[in-house]
Structure 1
């Protein structure tokens, strides 16, 4: 029995099973209702907005021939259940970040963000013009999905801590929330890594269930309220320099759509990628200033800490190289990163350095 057949005949838990009748595309006079489930709690700044943008624009772009009903995390299935729900046909599509699903295949890490990986611009270059999109599709074929990048948060922060991190030894025994291979990196530094959905992070930090957390960046973090709990904030992290968000559709549902409907969904995903990135960039600077005015200490990790991150990341990469597809994606990703980064550093990098020097 292949994975798709198994998932269709397996229970996904009460919440997913109850969703079956609701999630099946409703047909009425040529119109269909598609159910979009997300990894985001309703109202989470930026990421929930990105999912809503996709739902609204697909509905509008198809003149209502496709109506997308969005269900936030927990409303139909849990945040970490959306991948299997869509693969099994319990829901039609999901919006989320694919590194939540490295348990299904480690290659999904690349379509969120690799530790010490690509910025948003570099990721888009690889994805649209240097082989990334084809790898996303190859993974999707395994699991019965058709996937697209459909958002980006821009560079994410290093996180919130109850005490400063002066050296790598300060991670030993720390209970910290970080998903994906970023969490695996921290695990090698002695961290007790917690993988929590975004909607659960505030309460875990407030209760002391975790000692610290990364989330997204100043705007989303301020909206989440982490500054009410601790004032120590590291604004640059190793783990997500430009993480992509994904829109993934059950492949049988995708194949049943008309070419024009498929084109609308693909173009909406591209538009959402840009729209979401600029939404975060627009809001992050002002939010950081508000956080600082409220007493938040903005900090940077020391070079020895960054070195420890790098050494641990290299170990994590090597541990996954036995997977042939992961290795092929890694090699493609790194080759594109070297190429695009080299030009960016010699063009935009020089310009921004001189702009800041001349204009202050």
Structure 2
């Protein structure tokens, strides 16, 4: 049997089930550089790129090598799209919503306020139209995208002062990742788009009043609890934030079919492993934070309701002004509507019951 035929027709599931691709014969040595938006200290989100590179090396017998570079080594943390588009590097690992300044549509690729959760977003990408629509969108940037991890639902962030209602966001200098700042600004906040490695210093110096990153495990590593004690939830702007691998289109097209299959399956493996790491590590980190004096509290319903109202108004405005947004968001919103119908019936009911028990 032709081993190349096996990998060509097995698809992601077959490759992952086997644990590694069949041996590759007479393949050229390929070396790629991948630039990350995340500091090396975050073994969860930065670590997904390391997993991606390791898997490709294992599947290719070392013939396809990907070196991973932290922010600043090759390009700045938020310079990934430009670097990949221009071919400065072959690949990048980043959050799409960092680049909403180029086009608000980027934000849908990571998370938008009151959007899909992580399982729903993965379903939209792989079984809905998500991947197809974003491949079309990214083609104008000479990028081929692959889902590359998800954080799950995030926390709402660290605040020096208590949040009692929407009025407490007025004038608040809030480190907020990308597009979601457009919604918080409608509540009066002053969003600050600061890379992960620079947030602590800004909070410590008082340059910002509050910040959000991801959740307990990463937030503990970054030390936010040392300078702000009020920890709110949920991060309604990131109900399931996806990270992506961006591949330069020419570099990808130059690969053999076998190497392309390795990129696809390594990305899928890293995608699953990132959320597994967060889900496994967040509980213990939350316990440690609380034991150290962190005050954990939900956002008041008045905050959630006003933010929801402003988010829906913003999406209507963008649908009327941005054809790219309208094309992708209309499909996304329809998928979200059906997903919520299903999740509230079974998934959410089961979760509510289990999380109310004392096991």
TM over 0.5: yes
Q: Counterpart in 2 of 1:10?
A: none
Q: Counterpart in 2 of 1:173?
A: 171
| Residues 173 and 192 in structure 2, CA contact (< 8 A), matched pair in contact too | yes
Q: Counterpart in 1 of 2:346?
A: 347
| Residues 176 and 193 in structure 2, CA contact (< 8 A), matched pair in contact too | yes
1:65-108 deviation line (CA, Å, top 9, x unaligned): 21101111111110111110110011110001110111222221
| Residues 152 and 243 in structure 1, CA contact (< 8 A), matched pair in contact too | yes
In structure 2, how many angstroms separate the alpha carbons of the residues matched to 1:349 and 1:315? 27
Query: What SS does structure 2 have at the residue aligned with 1:70?
Result: strand
Query: What SS does structure 2 have at the residue aligned with 1:257?
Result: coil
Instruction: Calculate the TM-score normalised by the size of structure 1.
Output: 0.89
Structure 2 vs 1, CA of residues 354 and 175 (structure 1 numbering), >3 Å: closer, same or farther? closer
Query: What SS does structure 2 have at the residue aligned with 1:241?
Result: coil
* Cα drift, residue 356 of structure 1: 4.2
| Residues 111 and 149 in structure 1, CA contact (< 8 A), matched pair in contact too | no
* Cα drift, residue 318 of structure 1: 2.4
| Residues 45 and 219 in structure 1, CA contact (< 8 A), matched pair in contact too | no
Q: Counterpart in 1 of 2:143?
A: 145
Q: Counterpart in 2 of 1:99?
A: 97
Instruction: Calculate the TM-score normalised by the size of structure 2.
Output: 0.90
| Residues 161 and 213 in structure 1, CA contact (< 8 A), matched pair in contact too | yes
In structure 2, how many angstroms separate the alpha carbons of the residues matched to 1:352 and 1:191? 33
Aligned mate of 1:236, from 234, 255, 263: 234
Q: Counterpart in 2 of 1:186?
A: 184
* Cα drift, residue 205 of structure 1: 0.6
Q: Counterpart in 2 of 1:135?
A: 133
| Residues 148 and 269 in structure 1, CA contact (< 8 A), matched pair in contact too | yes
Q: Counterpart in 2 of 1:336?
A: 335
| Residues 98 and 179 in structure 2, CA contact (< 8 A), matched pair in contact too | no
Query: What SS does structure 1 have at the residue aligned with 2:263?
Result: helix
Q: Counterpart in 2 of 1:3?
A: none
Within a 5 Å distance, the mapping from 1:1-360 to structure 2 comes to: 30-321=28-319, 322-357=321-356
* Cα drift, residue 186 of structure 1: 1.0
Query: What SS does structure 2 have at the residue aligned with 1:283?
Result: helix
In structure 1, how many angstroms separate the alpha carbons of the residues matched to 2:296 and 2:352? 22
In structure 2, how many angstroms separate the alpha carbons of the residues matched to 1:335 and 1:256? 36
Q: Which runs of no fewer than 5 residues in structure 2 stay unpaired?
A: 1-26
Structure 2 vs 1, CA of residues 358 and 296 (structure 1 numbering), >3 Å: closer, same or farther? closer
In structure 1, how many angstroms separate the alpha carbons of the residues matched to 2:165 and 2:233? 17
Structure 2 vs 1, CA of residues 358 and 169 (structure 1 numbering), >3 Å: closer, same or farther? closer
Structure 2 vs 1, CA of residues 201 and 357 (structure 1 numbering), >3 Å: closer, same or farther? closer
In structure 1, how many angstroms separate the alpha carbons of the residues matched to 2:334 and 2:298? 29
Query: What SS does structure 1 have at the residue aligned with 2:267?
Result: helix
In structure 2, how many angstroms separate the alpha carbons of the residues matched to 1:357 and 1:292? 20
1:287-308 deviation line (CA, Å, top 9, x unaligned): 1111100100001111111111
Query: What SS does structure 1 have at the residue aligned with 2:336?
Result: helix
* Cα drift, residue 355 of structure 1: 3.4
Query: What SS does structure 2 have at the residue aligned with 1:299?
Result: strand
| Residues 181 and 316 in structure 1, CA contact (< 8 A), matched pair in contact too | no
Query: What SS does structure 2 have at the residue aligned with 1:37?
Result: strand
In structure 2, how many angstroms separate the alpha carbons of the residues matched to 1:218 and 1:236? 12
* Cα drift, residue 180 of structure 1: 2.1
In structure 2, how many angstroms separate the alpha carbons of the residues matched to 1:144 and 1:35? 17
In structure 1, how many angstroms separate the alpha carbons of the residues matched to 2:72 and 2:104? 25
In structure 2, how many angstroms separate the alpha carbons of the residues matched to 1:194 and 1:128? 32
